[in-house]
Homo-oligomer: A and B are copies of this chain.
Amino acid sequence: MSQELLVELAEWIAIPSVSADPDCAGDVERAGEWLAEKIREAGGEAEKIDWHGQPLVVGEIAASGGGEAPTVLCYGHFDVQTAEPVELWESDPFTLVERDGWLYGRGSADDKGQLLILLEAARSLAREGALPVNVRFVCDGEEEVGGHSIADFLVADERGADACLIFDTSMIERDVPAFTIASRGLAYLHLELSSGERDLHSGVYGGAALNALHALNRTLAAVLPVEGRLPEPLLEGVEPLSAEELVSIAALPPGADVLAEQGARLSDSNAAAEFYLRTGAQPALDVNGIVGGSAHLQKTVLPVRAEANLSIRLAPGQDPDTIVAALEQLLREAAPAGAELHVQLLSASPPGLVLQDAPAIRLALAAFERSFGRRPLLVRTGGTMPIMHALQLKGIPAVVTGFDLPEGNIHSPNERFWAGYLEPGIAAAREILGEFGAGLEPKRSAV
């Protein structure tokens, strides 16, 4: 069976479904068609649909034996990152190659390989007449360029589900699995500050005319963290970590090591000790860019225009509208008289948080532990996953996990998936689906 799975994975990886490359749009469609066909071959129904211009695959393999059964939503994505720079690959990015126990190829870990594990778990149970739940696949082809279409679709979707199972993340390290139970939201703003009609001679007017970069400095200072702490109004809604999360954090690599590995410096003296709290359960504000005046050429200009990009990662519990309003108010209050501040909200995504006490999560944790031999840690990503908020909004508890490894090189040359995790992955997914079938009440699904 494993050999057949590798043949399938090789076929799928050979389709260069790079969503960021307009020339690959047809390949993204083909990769979706490929998935839909596999679901149909497994006795399910599936079609590739166009959702506001984005390709989604929506399909379902019904529970064995008919009758009422819980519905489990399985998400994954069939698009991949670009393979550039191709010259850094040791073998062709779109040819699956096994080497030293690793399966090399773009999408082997992120996410074709892992999505295929979910599919294999569901269809093997169906083949055995033992699939205890309806497995509904909703998969997208633009995860690497936004992932908003899947969130929109799920919010609009009336079918619902009793739980969601996603294999698209990484273990902490080899054999240390994790459930990602939260993602931060993101509000992204563009600022334009004007302090006059035209740039001035710094000699003739310097000391009396308002410099836009000085005004921007003061404006931004009002929202920047001081010793790691943001102004009070930006903390509204923040919720503490759960007891099990605190235990999980103690098992994670020290924050100082994580930062040092990236060549990063601490933002302040507590940043290492509070790394997981700061990046998972607290908002973080970052100035993403500033431009104004003449930063390279030696020009005696007193600039009257400055621009900045500014974003805030929202902690679970925080409301984007509230925080954006507070942020804008702090900025406006701090802008000196004479500075015209134009604030444009470019995008906003809410944070997502899984209800850890939901039966589905408890069942999945137990099933995973029984199958894999180790209980997953509960972790948070500091990044933004629109799907997590959509599922939270629909009240669908989400198990977000995966078998990628930190050394899996996703988004980089030589992406690889540890072949030894194919079987344990399928086994864990089967165990979780089984547990869901036995333990979940089919209240949300409606055929």
Contact = CB atoms under 8 A, between A and B. Distances in A.
A227 B150 CA distance: 51
Given A202-B288, A205-B264, A207-B284, A224 B228 contact: no
A208 B271 contact: yes
A274 to B, nearest CB: 7
A413 to B, nearest CB: 16
Contact of A207 (B200, B225, B288, B347): B225
A262 B210 CA distance: 12
Interface stretch (A99-107, A171-179, A211-219, A400-408): A211-219
Interface of A: 184, 186, 188, 190, 195-198, 200-211, 213-214, 217-218, 220-221, 224-225, 228, 255, 259, 262-269, 271-272, 274-275, 278-279, 282-304, 306-309, 311, 313, 336-339, 346-347, 381-384
A275 B346 CA distance: 40
A201 B278 CA distance: 14
Interface centre among A202, A205, A208, A225 (most CB of B within 10 A): A208
Given A259-B208, A293-B289, A311 B217 contact: no
Given A266-B208, A288-B294, A292-B290, A382 B301 contact: no
Given A209-B267, A224-B217, A202 B262 contact: no
15 contacts: A197-B263, A200-B264, A202-B284, A203-B279, A206-B286, A207-B271, A207-B279, A213-B290, A214-B267, A266-B337, A288-B293, A289-B296, A291-B296, A298-B347, A299-B309
Contacts of A303: 287-289
A77 B236 CA distance: 64
Contacts of A197: 262-264
Q: Which 5 pairs across A and B sit closest by C-beta, in order of nearness?
A: A197-B263, A207-B284, A265-B338, A203-B383, A289-B293
**Protomer copies:** 2
Nearest to A226: B218
Contact of A296 (B300, B301, B307): B307
A203 to B, nearest CB: 3
Nearest to A313: B206
B301 A213 contact: no
Given A204-B381, A298-B346, 5 more contacts: A196-B265, A200-B262, A207-B279, A208-B267, A218-B221
A256 to B, nearest CB: 10
A8 to B, nearest CB: 32
A290 B381 CA distance: 32
B264 A209 contact: yes
B255 A300 contact: no
Contacts of A205: 259, 262, 264, 279, 382
B300 A295 contact: no
Contacts of A285: 206
Contacts of A190: 296, 298
A207 B264 contact: no
A289 B299 contact: yes
Contacts of A300: 186, 188, 288, 311, 384
B200 A265 contact: no
A267 B228 CA distance: 30
B287 A214 contact: yes
B279 A204 contact: yes
Nearest to A293: B289
Nearest to A255: B208
A180 to B, nearest CB: 12
A259 B255 CA distance: 52
A309 B19 CA distance: 40
Contacts of A255: 208
B217 A217 contact: yes
Contacts of A271: 207-210
A381 B299 contact: no
A280 to B, nearest CB: 9
Contacts of A196: 262-265
Nearest to A210: B265
B296 A204 contact: no
A188 B303 CA distance: 15
Nearest to A304: B264
